[in-house]
Structure 1
């Protein structure tokens, strides 16, 4: 795993959760949610985050079925990861994101956020779980 700042993404067709962390410390933090279906808007926001945080690595959650088989969102997440790599010339890592949404819901519930109150931050907390997973054990590079 490269040293330095990393940004992680929980990719969705409508929302992309973003988390940030430092590999030396190995702790991820939720950062923001990009809420847009327009590709150019999404990548403009991502470019601004990359400019602000200067990450050494990008991490993308790779969704699969519970048994590990791939589905349409797996393909779309791989495509998003490849676009990140092509646009920003940074190393991009894929991390198994099975159960990260459940973990995010659990963490938010423990923090006192339940139901609809979770929605604004759920994706970024899922990205935090993805990044923490990467810190704990490296994923597959794109």
Structure 2
């Protein structure tokens, strides 16, 4: 069983998190600078190979009411482009409050506030995805996520 990777897409940085091989625990992996789409895809392809990733989950920033605003539409376009370039399935997963949750976890651990939180936010997104799939008793590739063909 391969790992699952999560991305927290931003205009300047991309937070990356990775699951363990059993799809139980998510951990922050790194932050990728967004220099160009080509550079991002090359970096992601290296990570997919290095960590034997079978699926990529991308945080989808719906508003608290569930609506898709401008940021969600931008993420959807970026996710579609990544899905065309990556050799594994790509799914969107609701990320509402993931950054706030990551900041709360960081504060409890006494982490530094000035460092970017993107990778921790990606780990929150991924952990939520893993737990939701486990609670449904389903393969993480099924239901609750928006796939791209």
TM-score (norm 2): 0.85
2:132 is aligned with 1:134: no
Q: Give the C-alpha shift of residue 91 in structure 1.
A: 1.1
Q: Deviations along 1:50-74, whole A, 9 cap, x unmatched?
A: 1211211110000011111111221
Distance 1:89 1:43 in 2: 11
**C-alpha distance in 2, partners of 1:78/1:22?**
26
Partner SS, residue 17 of structure 2: strand
After TM superposition, the structure 1 = structure 2 runs for residues 45-56 of structure 1, keeping only pairs within 5 Å, are: 45-56=43-54
CA RMSD of aligned residues (A): 1.5
Separation in 2, partners of 1:115, 1:24: 31
- 2 CA distance for matches of 1:83 and 1:50? 16
User: Is the counterpart of residue 65 in structure 1 residue 63 in structure 2?
Assistant: yes
Which TM-score applies when normalising by structure 1? 0.88
> What's 2:84 paired with?
86
Stretches (4+) displaced over 6 A: none
Count how many residue pairs are aligned between Structure 1 and Structure 2.
137
2:53 aligned counterpart, secondary structure: coil
| 1:98 aligned partner | 96
* Unaligned 5+ runs, structure 2: 134-144
The residue number in structure 2 matching 1:125 is: 120
Preserved contact between residue 28 and residue 128 of structure 1 (Cα < 8 Å): yes
Compare the two structures and name the one with the higher helix fraction.
1
1:23 and 1:78 mapped to 2: Cα distance?
Answer: 27
Asked which structure has the greater RCO (Cα within 8 Å, sep 6+), the reply is 1
Rounded to whole Å, the distance in 2 between the matches of 1:102 and 1:78 is 21
Q: Residues of 1 paired with 2:51 and 2:112: CA distance?
A: 30
